[in-house]
A = this chain, B = another copy of it.
Amino acid sequence: MDAVLDEAAGKRARGLDRAFEILDFLREKRQALKPNEIAAQIGAPRSSVYELVNLLLRNGILEFTGGEGRVYLGRKLYFLGAAYENHFDFTRECEAALERLADETRETAQFCMLDGNKYTVVRMREGARPFRISTDVGQSVPIPWTASGRVLVSHMTDAEILAFIPPQDFQLPSGEWLDPATFLAEVRAAEGDGHFTFNSIVDSFTHCFAVPVMGDAGHAVATLCLVAPRADGLANREQYLACLKDAARRLGGHAPAQAKRA
């Protein structure tokens, strides 16, 4: 995550940071790995990784699976995640919103959030004519690659945004570099309009729509998106935007559930 190049070289890493680096890495890989492989691939000392993996195994944060001593994310993480989901109870309404969006538009609908300084699809509802969607649920994607990315950072200042997004994330999958100034202009447009749409820069045949879901703090905590074939998206642009904004308004209407007093 924030460890692409860890600070300066030569420093010792803190156990906790290393541990979550391991967890994030396993999530990204989406498969069980041997401690040795983890160490090699994240560039951490083997002895440290073995130590941490054993600690995490003892805590149920990691589990042996896949044989050969391979480890993957553990049950405890599921329980903790379920507690989060239960507290900020967005899932049920979110599913309903996606369902309705998919019904009304027949397009693929997504609910997206930031994961640290990346963009990620939290939930997705396939449209009527499913095509190969470029990003799967749970994958971390550079913010500048997506329409939602513009919306999700629009509450920050330009300086904050540039400090927040890793510079290398402005390199698009095609290899081209997106000018940060262009990106910032699009962010400001999204802020003003309350939505952002563009022809996807990840693939060459879709048009993407993103609108903010407002949270307590008065800025976007998530987005609702549609991914449509280009012709289709352009033809129905106004209808699609209206559907999205309506759905987002309902989702964001009430505060994301304060802690229920015991």
Which A positions have Cβ atoms within 8 angstroms of B? 1, 14-17, 19-20, 23-24, 26-27, 29-32, 52, 55-56, 59-61, 65-66, 70, 72-88, 113, 115-116, 120, 122, 137-138, 258-262
A16/B52 in contact, CB under 8 A: yes
Q: In the complex, A32 Cα to B257 Cα: how many Å?
A: 11
Closest to A65 in B: B259
Q: In the complex, A52 Cα to B14 Cα: how many Å?
A: 11
A30/B83 in contact, CB under 8 A: yes
Q: In the complex, A183 Cα to B138 Cα: how many Å?
A: 43
Chain B nearest CB: distance from A69 CB in Å? 13
CB-defined contacts of A76 to chain B, threshold 8 Å: 20, 115-116
CB-defined contacts of A19 to chain B, threshold 8 Å: 16
CB-defined contacts of A138 to chain B, threshold 8 Å: 79, 82-83, 86
Check A27/B83 contact, CB under 8 A, given A17-B59, A55-B16, A259-B72. Answer: yes
CB-defined contacts of A56 to chain B, threshold 8 Å: 16
A73/B52 in contact, CB under 8 A: no
Q: How many copies does the complex hold?
A: 2
Contact of A73 among B15, B80, B116, B122 (CB under 8 A): B80
CB-defined contacts of A79 to chain B, threshold 8 Å: 27, 81, 115, 120, 138
A74/B66 in contact, CB under 8 A: no
Chain B nearest CB: distance from A7 CB in Å? 13
Closest to A19 in B: B16
Contact of A31 among B16, B80, B259 (CB under 8 A): B259
CB-defined contacts of A73 to chain B, threshold 8 Å: 80, 83-84, 87
Q: Which 4 A-B pairs have the closest CB atoms?
A: A81-B81, A31-B259, A27-B83, A78-B84
CB-defined contacts of A81 to chain B, threshold 8 Å: 77-82, 84-85
Q: In the complex, A125 Cα to B260 Cα: how many Å?
A: 22
Q: A76-B115, A78-B81 are in contact. List 13 more A-B contacts (CB 8 A).
A: A16-B59, A23-B80, A27-B83, A30-B87, A31-B260, A65-B88, A66-B259, A70-B259, A74-B84, A75-B84, A77-B81, A78-B85, A82-B137
